[in-house]
Chains A and B, each alone.
Chain A
Amino acid sequence: MHNNLLYIILPYTAFTIAVVFTIHRYRKDAFTYSSLSSQFLESKELFYGSVAWHFGVIGALAGHVIGFLLPSGVRWFNGVPVRLYILETTGLLFGLLALIGIISLVVRRATSSRVRAVTSKMDVVVVTLLLIQVSLGVYIAVFYRWGSSWYVTSAVPYLRSLWALQPDLKMIEPLPLVIKLHIVNFYLLLIVFPFSRLVHMLVIPLQYLWRPYQIVIWNWNRRRAQAHAPQPARQPAGVTSPADEAAAETQPVSVYTR
């Protein structure tokens, strides 16, 4: 019974809460979507903590996601022992990086009075859950070897069965307690996700890589004004043509400024 509760009801509830409230928060309160960086108040220790944590956790998370999406690919990759060793070591390194990172972030938050001033109760909850999650992950990686292989043959089928709305607990029931804890704690993280600073991971600014540097926004209805304005017989030298601008509304154009 409690298996059903923890591995079927909990994940569906957590997932629903995460999705519904994240969207709700974005629509009602986009202002609160922020990295909430405290680098301005304390920068030196943040460097080691934040860089290690973020790269570590992104690597570890990416591993889990790849396993979920391409289980057969991972199995095929691990078919050659050398490749398996490499994958295992990489995963462990990412985990350790994340663990070192989060520990130093916790120490920093506890010791810097300025950073404490911007620490909320939810931050404490989140950091506790993350610390548990990462510690369990590293413990599992060390003591239950070849995780990259058994993850795709036990946990992934279970997760995929959830996704297919046909929950099947066969594969995870025999798993050791630590691994089960790791799974349940993940659901807890999903639940707090929309109510915590974790939402900042949804607004990673990748679009910056291809957008033009400058952004100009008009409040005037320039198309309407152009339609009404006396049409110039020819374009005066050096002034952007209206047609060009209609095409590129966000490009810098001839404007006046104060």
Chain B
Amino acid sequence: MVFHLDKCIGCHTCSIACKNVWTDRKGAEYMWWNNVETKPGTGYPTAWEDQNKYHGGWEQNNGQPDLKMGRRELRVLNIFHNPHLPKLDDYYEPWTYKYEDLFDSPEGADQPTARPISMITGKYVDIEAGPNWDDDLGGSPVYAANDPNLDKLTEEERAQVFEIDKLVFFYLPRICNHCVNPACVAACPSGAIYKRGEDGIVLINQEKCRGWRMCVTACPYKKSYYNWSTGKSEKCILCFPRLETGQAPACFHSCVGRIRYLGGLLYDADRLLDALRVPDDKLVEAQREMILDPRDPQVREGALGNGIDARALEACERSPVYRYVKEWKMALPLHPEFRTLPMLFYVPPLLPVMAKSEDGLYDSSNAELFSPIEKARLPMKYMASLFAGGNQDLVRYALKKQYAVRLFKRLDTVGDMDAAAVKRALEQLNMTEEEAEQIFRLTALPLFDERFVIPPSHREQALQMLNDDMWAEKGGAGFGFREAPVRGA
């Protein structure tokens, strides 16, 4: 998965699509499997990135990765009370309005109002937080100022971010990253969470989940949620029923900015432990190393031998994700230092200073080609803290590449650029004109099936594995609960 942040308009259509399909239920009202945050900001749940507070993700113990929430035995001992569980108030108390009052109130001196009531207790509540409380920098002195990523900046740099005429923000849509080294799976005492071999989707078996809540703590992205009504944890399922029928997940499909890309990646899981042993700022490269080239004959042979379907391999060859992540090195994982090896990659947003105003004059001339990147309004340090484990070079490279494509296309379509300078810019980044053109196409003009290259799921093989009479399944329901997902007594 790749999210191209330069294209996200912060419309929240993705969140609503997901909510309507999956979490519009009792116990799940507060869950947003897909949410869109404003950065700088504290996000949802509040300050989720602060692992000193939430204890999510992995850490290195003498070269041995282990969960940050503590040793294995603690997960069993802490089932009676998980000391690091986020509470409802870290998210928000879901509410609705008492709309009947608008119609049923007796005649009086005042207009009737629909007062907010809690969707948990049914009592009146004062709304103090919502899923998107700091949208568009709302309440920035409280929220944006407490963004954990700002900790790494100097006082001066911090002040700069919030200078009123330089004020800057961007959107960060988040779903479960369907990690290669998922902390949620590792923390589940019941063994209810698993990663699917064929497509890497991380799922919680609702029949095996016992509500021990360890995954909620372990996931550093806080993308596993506890359903307070059914007593089971739930998370993004990447719309697998849609994927298995060749459709893009609801949030991908509905994305207005068309920022989302989906396609297969082949990786070598044997390199996992080595990849996890490197320091934070080397993690992105180590993860890239794990990703294999689907065109490499050796890789193809190995994959086929490992039971990967030939048509799935063919889809991997056309994967837009492979291009952004491995070929072009433009897409970076969110917070690689949590060491779950997230499989959702972000193309960082260009927030260039295109001009400066001095003495009332607007000056848009730039002496240096890449100076708008170097002077980006959000310090490179901030971006590197989000997307590269502190490695500023990787972010700089990704941004410069985006910028070079713009210069290239401007020369191509408007023509008011110095051709030699543009050529120099491409050369500096080791990129050819064809590559620039391809990046432009996939970024600006991709068709639906170029954005979503979904390998076939071959559910028929899953059926065959059951060793049952195949025809017994004929006309059966495709998926879903064989028992109602209702709370036990």
Whose C-beta in chain A lies nearest to the C-beta of B27?
A118
Q: A229-B304, A253-B306 are in contact. List 4 more A-B contacts (CB 8 A).
A: A55-B80, A226-B306, A252-B195, A255-B198
Question: Given A113-B121, A213-B186, A239 and B268 touching (CB < 8 A)?
Answer: yes
Which of A39, A41, A200 gathers the greatest number of chain B CB atoms within 10 Å?
A39
A123 to B488, CA, bound (A): 11
Q: Check if A239 sits within 8 Å of B306, measured CB to CB.
A: yes
**Interface hits, A4-50 → B, CB 8 Å:** 28-41, 43, 46-47, 50
Closest chain B CB from A48 CB (angstroms): 9
Q: Check if A256 sits within 8 Å of B483, measured CB to CB.
A: no
Q: Check if B307 sits within 8 Å of A117, measured CB to CB.
A: no
Binary flags per residue of A143-177, CB closer than 8 Å to B gives 1, else 0 = 00000000000000000000000000000000000
Whose C-beta in chain A lies nearest to the C-beta of B243?
A258
Closest chain A CB from B457 CB (angstroms): 8
Q: List 22 A-B contacts (CB under 8 A).
A: A31-B230, A31-B232, A31-B483, A34-B230, A35-B210, A37-B231, A39-B85, A41-B88, A51-B81, A53-B80, A204-B79, A205-B210, A208-B72, A220-B197, A220-B307, A222-B197, A224-B461, A225-B304, A239-B303, A254-B303, A256-B455, A258-B200
Which of A31, A218, A221 gathers the greatest number of chain B CB atoms within 10 Å?
A31
Question: Given A220-B307, A232-B302, A213 and B185 touching (CB < 8 A)?
Answer: yes
Q: State the A residues within 8 Å of B (CB).
A: 28-41, 43, 46-47, 50-51, 53-55, 113-114, 116-118, 120, 122-123, 195-197, 199-200, 203-209, 211, 213-226, 229-232, 235-240, 242, 245, 252-258
Whose C-beta in chain B lies nearest to the C-beta of A116?
B121
Q: Check if A226 sits within 8 Å of B269, measured CB to CB.
A: no
A245 to B306, CA, bound (A): 8
Q: State the B residues within 8 Å of A (CB).
A: 1, 72-73, 75-76, 79-83, 85-88, 120-123, 178, 180-182, 185-186, 188-191, 193-201, 206-213, 216, 226, 228-232, 238, 262-272, 292, 298-299, 301-309, 312, 316, 321, 343, 455, 457-459, 461-462, 464-465, 481, 483-489
Whose C-beta in chain A lies nearest to the C-beta of B82?
A39
Q: Check if B190 sits within 8 Å of A255, measured CB to CB.
A: no
A256 to B199, CA, bound (A): 6
The B contact surface, by secondary structure, is: loop
Q: Check if B199 sits within 8 Å of A258, measured CB to CB.
A: yes
Report chain B residues within 8 Å CB of A195.
Answer: 489
Report chain B residues within 8 Å CB of A55.
Answer: 80
Q: Check if B185 sits within 8 Å of A205, measured CB to CB.
A: no
Whose C-beta in chain B lies nearest to the C-beta of A203?
B210
Partner of A37, one of B189, B211, B321: B211
A236 to B123, CA, bound (A): 64
Whose C-beta in chain A lies nearest to the C-beta of B193?
A215
Whose C-beta in chain B lies nearest to the C-beta of A239?
B302
Question: Given A225-B309, A252-B272, A256-B266, A34 and B121 touching (CB < 8 A)?
Answer: no
Report chain A residues within 8 Å CB of B120.
Answer: 41, 114, 117
Q: Check if A255 sits within 8 Å of B308, measured CB to CB.
A: yes
Whose C-beta in chain B lies nearest to the C-beta of A55?
B80
Q: Check if B121 sits within 8 Å of A117, measured CB to CB.
A: yes
Q: Check if B213 sits within 8 Å of A214, measured CB to CB.
A: no
Q: Check if B209 sits within 8 Å of A208, measured CB to CB.
A: no
Report chain A residues within 8 Å CB of B301.
Answer: 230, 232, 236
Q: Check if B298 sits within 8 Å of A237, measured CB to CB.
A: yes
Q: Check if A50 sits within 8 Å of B200, measured CB to CB.
A: no
Report chain A residues within 8 Å CB of B292.
Answer: 238-239, 254
Partner of A31, one of B196, B268, B462, B481: B481
Closest chain A CB from B65 CB (angstroms): 9
Closest chain B CB from A10 CB (angstroms): 22
Q: Check if A47 sits within 8 Å of B343, measured CB to CB.
A: no
A40 to B84, CA, bound (A): 11
A209 to B73, CA, bound (A): 7
Q: Check if B210 sits within 8 Å of A32, measured CB to CB.
A: no
Report chain B residues within 8 Å CB of A226.
Answer: 305-307
